[in-house]
Amino acid sequence: MSELSASWYLAVSAALFAIGFTGLLVRRNPLIMFMCIELMLNAVNVAFVAFGAGLNDVGGQVAVFFVLVVAATEVVIGLALVVALSRFKTGATADDVSLLKG
């Protein structure tokens, strides 16, 4: 059995990023949009690990750590906004974010 090269992982990463980007452009549900952003961030993580493994460097894994910290922060703030938005209006879309003005 042969090992998979870094190009296979980069192809999977590109496919995941394209799926997330398409979902972000097509869907209007804020929760689905945040899931698509998370999918794109995870695709970038796969690419960082593939580049790090291909170059025999730990820098890719260090970058993944920082991307995961940013993703966790985005999830906390994003879910708080989605919950606040859904309290005002059920079935809210991304266009309804203007309802959250103080």
pLDDT of residue 10: 95
Considering the entire predicted model, what is its pTM? 0.85
pLDDT of residue 95: 80
Could you give the residue ranges of the DSSP H alpha helices within the chain? Answer: 6-26, 30-54, 59-88
pLDDT of residue 94: 79
**Mean pLDDT, 10 residues at a time, the chain of 102 residues:** 83 97 93 92 95 91 94 90 82 78 70
Q: How distant, in Å, are the alpha carbons of 4, 35, 54, 72, 98 from that of 45?
A: 17, 15, 14, 13, 32
CB neighbours of 8 closer than 8 A, spacing ≥ 6? none
Q: Which domains does the chain have, with CATH numbers?
A: 6-86 (1.10.287.3510)
pLDDT of residue 49: 94
